Amino acid sequence: MNIVIVSMHSCPMGTPGSSDVGGMNIYLYNLASNLVQLGHNVWIFTKSHEGCTYNTQEYYDQIKLVHFSIGESKTDKSDLFNYTEEFSNLIFDFVNINSLEIDLVYSHYWLSGIVGQKLTQLFNIPHFVTFHTMAKTKSKYSPNNLEHPQREVNEKMVMESADFIIALSNTESIDIRDMYQISQKKIMVFPPGVDLTSFSPVNKSLAKQKLSMKNEKNVLFVGRIDPIKGIEILLEMAKILKVKFQYKLLIVGGGSINSKELIELKTKICINGLSNYVELIGSVPHQQLKFFYSAVDVFVLTSFYESLGFVLLESMACATPVVASNVGGIPTIVQDTVNGFLIDGNNAESFAEKVGELLDNNNLNNKMGLEGLKKARSMSWINMTTQMVDFFEKTIK
């Protein structure tokens, strides 16, 4: 098959944890790689950005990453709504100029969904869409979060017009059905996997040595510095933990160490008296993350909502136990008290209690780490991609 993937606002080759680069980018990179392994051709269309080529880049023989320059280099993600028609036309022209035969369009996020819907009309081919996050779920779990005024209505329009919506978990599928009144028949669930070639256990001492870390207790958070990630809960947890433990909370993500997000977060850390307990790392190359996961004692995710929580799977693949919010698709991969702990209501005291339990109890820590590793190894990207391809082919026929 010849597949067009639309990721208008964010490049799959971006650095995870930097602005607008997170789980969706990891998803796209792994999906495209596995589609190629199964013998398919993939074109990924995204907007130009700093630090990456501005034209076609083939990072596999059958994957073409195409950047289009739209707006200004610093145009905010929400403002890209004004460029969706232009972006659609650029893809349409590219396909025609290069005489490409396209079998389907698979768009990611609501902005790309608008573009994908335009393309499916122009080419008369099926349109699949994954939203990764949605306005109504973000509003439900993070009421103070401000969204583009056109987002919700356009999400509904894309859901109604797309051939199929691909959800990452059963929870997300139910949210789409109930919150947007979409027929369950249009929603398919294909959980993503973890890249086991990139994420596997590394000896803790060697991992610490690689990262020049001191031999102390360590807790890790990886993700964007975004209100939906529950950063305030994370800091409140850190304050509670310091009463009992001499430890370090490492926060990976947020762009460069001088980014606006990390400067603001550093101020909050100082105000809360956490300068000796919390260390801001900034974004790191994806291939370096396995050393962070392996070097620490506990991984924590305080999000108000996650469609799945890719970082949890990565930590589990490195045999590090996890403590995470009991929201969204997280219970799909974290089984409470078996391979990690699930926390209800984003309660900072509960987070601190369970993280502390894993810092205190080495036997429990090792047992949950091994159970997490077992779960991660059962979730293969190639198996998920094979199932998705079968569905694509049936739809096209």
All domains in the chain, ordered by first residue: 2-193+380-396 (3.40.50.2000), 204-377 (3.40.50.2000)
Mean pLDDT over residues 162-186, rounded? 95
Q: Is the pLDDT score of 143 beyond 90?
A: no
Position 61 scores a pLDDT of: 57
Among 372, 362, 356, residue whose Cα is nearest residue 319: 372
pLDDT digits (tens, 9 = 90+) for 348-375: 999 999 999 999 999 999 999 999 999 9
pLDDT digits (tens, 9 = 90+) for 34-89: 999 999 999 999 988 665 543 444 445 568 889 898 876 566 677 899 999 999 99
How would residue 29 be classed by pLDDT, with cut points 50, 70 and 90? Answer: confident
Position 75 scores a pLDDT of: 62
| pTM, to two decimals | 0.81
Average pLDDT across the chain, whole number: 90
How would residue 21 be classed by pLDDT, with cut points 50, 70 and 90? Answer: low
Mean pLDDT over residues 204-228, rounded? 93
pLDDT digits (tens, 9 = 90+) for 85-111: 999 999 999 999 999 999 999 999 999
List C-alpha distances in Å: 19 to 9, 74, 315.
Answer: 11, 11, 21
Q: Is the pLDDT score of 227 beyond 90?
A: no
At 104 the three-state DSSP class reads: strand
How would residue 240 be classed by pLDDT, with cut points 50, 70 and 90? Answer: very high
User: What is 262-317 written as a DSSP string?
Assistant: HHHHHHHHHHTT-TTTEEEEE---GGGHHHHHHHSSEEEE--S--SS-HHHHHHHH
Give the whole-number percent of the chain exceeding pLDDT 90: 69
Residue pair 13/47 in contact by the 8 Å Cβ criterion: no
pLDDT digits (tens, 9 = 90+) for 284-326: 988 899 999 999 999 999 999 888 888 999 999 999 999 999 9
Task: Compute the distance between CA of residue 256 and CA of residue 240 in angstroms, rounded to an integer.
Answer: 28
Q: Is the pLDDT score of 160 beyond 80?
A: yes
Q: Is the pLDDT score of 19 beyond 60?
A: no
Position 10 scores a pLDDT of: 83
Least confident of 133-137, 239-243, 264-268, 389-393: 133-137
How would residue 161 be classed by pLDDT, with cut points 50, 70 and 90? Answer: very high
Dig out the tokens for 118 from the structure.
């335009």
Task: Compute the distance between CA of residue 21 and CA of residue 10 in angstroms, rounded to an integer.
Answer: 6
- Strand 41-47 to 63-68 pairing: parallel
Q: Is the pLDDT score of 23 beyond 80?
A: no
Position 56 scores a pLDDT of: 46
Position 347 scores a pLDDT of: 95
Residue pair 388/37 in contact by the 8 Å Cβ criterion: no
Position 51 scores a pLDDT of: 54
Dig out the tokens for 2 from the structure.
């010849």
Task: Compute the distance between CA of residue 238 and CA of residue 136 in angstroms, rounded to an integer.
Answer: 30
Q: Is the pLDDT score of 20 beyond 80?
A: no
Position 58 scores a pLDDT of: 47
